[in-house]
Amino acid sequence: MVRLHVVVALYAAALLSAPAFAQNTPAAKTGTQSNNPQDLSGVYILHQKAGFSLSNTPPMMTPWAQAKYNAAKPGIGKRAQALGNDPMMICDPVGYPRVIFYNDYPSEIVQIPGRIIQFFDYLNAHRIIWTDGRQLESNPDPWFYGHAVGHWDGDTLVVDSNGFDERSWLDADGHPHSDQMKLQERYRKTDPNTIEWSITLTDPKAYTQPWVSETKTLVRASAKTEIREDLCVTSDEQQYLDQMRAPAATQNR
């Protein structure tokens, strides 16, 4: 019983820490920030309307994608099921673009010559966007966070990516993608503390037309905000399954 109480406390703390973390990191509207439109460096909090997804209205799925969507059993949301099969529940990488939608967690953009690195507080992930002039490979090895190259179109960073591992979900609702998915993102700095971000997903194996996101906003977090070590530990996840999720699911049947 003592172990169960400890596990409850640990997971309650984990669940509550992220919203509290975000609430304690309001956008920094003071201090000197770069006015250079091509300097996106900083720690940001995502503001959005569509919850943990590209938009509230996805395009029509192909039969292949519909079957995968029907087989998905999310742990939260309108399709939530006890003992769901969300890949993140077995500590698989959450993948891209899903990782960016968790707006209770900050992300950091670091620019160095030849590349831009995005660090995500959520599950301690990172992604490299190459800006050294290289082209995307036509058939790269699949990565959970894809392969990305970027270039500047005036004051807008345009990022193209491909080579995604299809085991990840696009969102918490279980929308799938295939290894043919390609993304194009646009990042535009509207003031020293704000970036407008949008994304177009093209995946003919999964969707009958491109999925165009709503425009989302990345707002600079306070100067005290730092990226933490937020890891998914397989042994902890299994203990939570054995002592919490499975007993709770059995009781609710």
pLDDT tens for the 253 residues of the chain, in order? 333 333 333 333 333 344 333 333 344 443 357 889 999 999 999 988 777 789 889 999 999 999 999 999 998 888 998 889 999 989 999 999 999 998 889 999 999 999 999 999 999 999 999 999 999 999 999 999 999 999 999 999 999 999 999 999 999 999 999 999 999 999 999 999 999 999 999 999 999 999 999 999 999 999 999 999 998 888 777 776 777 767 876 665 5
Torsion-angle region of residue 252: left (phi > 0), alpha (psi -120 to 50) or beta?
alpha
- Number of structural domains the chain divides into: 1
CATH code at position 222: 2.40.128.20
Among residues 140, 117, 120, the alpha carbon closest in space to that of 129 is found at: 117
Q: Domain residues for 201?
A: 2-251
Inter-residue long-range contacts of 36-40, CB under 8 Å, 24+ positions, other chains counted: 37/154, 37/155, 37/188, 37/189, 38/152, 38/155, 38/157, 38/189, 39/111, 39/189, 40/109, 40/111, 40/116, 40/157, 40/187, 40/189, 40/195
